[in-house]
Chains A and B, each alone.
Chain A
């Protein structure tokens, strides 16, 4: 029995998350903004219709926003990430194999059922996710990942598909390929697109008709895999491609330029806490920390960017240790005359906690260690009372450099303090 692949993609995911808890947003133009409320990262169809695309600076569209009463939301990643895991769990219940591809996309693999069952299954997926999480999705089904991706695009673009598209036979596939520009093929980047266009290869159909040796020679084995996938021969591996992170990075721009060391330390403290919390979630330990800071790139007279890393005396998941190390690294690169716009931290040399070797110099380093009980107590209190309720004093009291999130909705699903009301 042949296996099929479905790509499930959430429609305007961030906007849909906001709408799930705020029904008054339904039917209105809504845009979700990036960190610091700078660019659009998700736009409702109503917003796209009045000409606001994804990925543009929001200030350029002030007029449209005012004229049409567009609702702006700052990105609420706590909410989006929780909603994403809910969508993925509902999907995982519907098929035996799932590969979570991004925050709002997943591949499912299942055995082909006879007759019209596929369309029924695809619609069922769509209804289940919509009903159980409130998030609308589109479903594309085909024999390979690349074709499923293409089917999904068609499902999204054509209202007549009702959110579902199954590329079942050769004729359908050829038609779909003929209507798809090479630049819209999954796996073909901008550089290859420009080059293919210059070779008079404009549609996906023209691309798959190229010879194998020609493609392989110019576009490596990856390009060839894409061509084969489009011809209906699955080549890409299926499965959870997420490997253990070797590095964790947390960074954020300041809401305004910042000069004082103290303020940068406050931001760094917060980034280290965030990074270590991710580290502990994946039950891993890190062996070092890297810190970077930079000024505004347009500030030519004082342009400055630097990075410094320090390795830790032992593999650890202790936030206080990494805060101390990060400060030491910061001291190496901080220059008082610079106005900084961004700082961030890397945790380095990450490995699973079970491999943690006992330190040779345990006695010596134990002075440096925070008790695990203290860290756990802090985590426990913050889970219950909200992030940063208990925090290292180096994080400061009131933050004046914080990123701009003027239109932030509540963390409806992750904080008892912010439950939606009815």
Chain B
């Protein structure tokens, strides 16, 4: 039986923060991918985990995973819309990179 004085903080209790809420607000449309090489211009290192939301609407500066001629590549959305203007290539936005996760030690 608890008989002590009730915690004064009790009515201030809030849920602890959770990285899932921050990084994956839409679990059903979010996929994870690993960077197969370094992309210095985007500050992405080989092995980084990319959080990719297929449901997000990309804006010009967003990094997207695109499928160009049946191959996955990483690029800015604005660049993609430029290169798709003239050419006959089959281009599709696979998803928008919304975060990068970089474990600092081997998990």
Contact = CB atoms under 8 A, between A and B. Distances in A.
B33 A420 contact: yes
A156 B76 CA distance: 36
28 contacts: A23-B70, A23-B71, A23-B72, A24-B71, A27-B70, A86-B28, A86-B29, A89-B28, A90-B28, A90-B29, A131-B55, A132-B28, A132-B29, A133-B28, A133-B29, A412-B31, A413-B32, A416-B32, A419-B32, A419-B49, A421-B33, A421-B34, A421-B35, A422-B34, A422-B35, A422-B36, A422-B72, A422-B74
B80 interface: no
Contacts of A24: 70-71
B14 to A, nearest CB: 26
Interface of B: 28-29, 31-36, 49-50, 54-55, 65, 67, 70-74, 94, 107
Interface in A130-168: 131-134
Contacts of A89: 28
Nearest to A90: B28
A26 B68 CA distance: 12
A421 B73 CA distance: 10
Contacts of A131: 54-55
Contacts of A27: 70
Contacts of B94: 23, 134
B89 to A, nearest CB: 13
Contacts of B107: 416
A181 B44 CA distance: 57
Residue from B36, B49, B70 having most chain A Cβ neighbours under 10 A: B70
B40 to A, nearest CB: 15
Leading 4 A-B pairs by shortest Cβ distance: A421-B36, A89-B28, A419-B34, A132-B29
A413 B55 CA distance: 16
A412 B31 CA distance: 9
Contacts of B71: 23-24
A422 B94 CA distance: 11
B47 to A, nearest CB: 10
Nearest to A88: B28
B34 to A, nearest CB: 4
A234 B73 CA distance: 48
A381 to B, nearest CB: 13
A422 B73 contact: yes
Given A23-B70, A26-B70, A422-B65, A132 B55 contact: yes
A131 B64 CA distance: 14
A422 B67 contact: no
A98 to B, nearest CB: 13
Nearest to A412: B31
A385 to B, nearest CB: 9
Residue from A86, A416, A420 having most chain B Cβ neighbours under 10 A: A420
Nearest to B26: A132
A23 B73 CA distance: 11
Nearest to B32: A419
Contacts of B36: 421-422
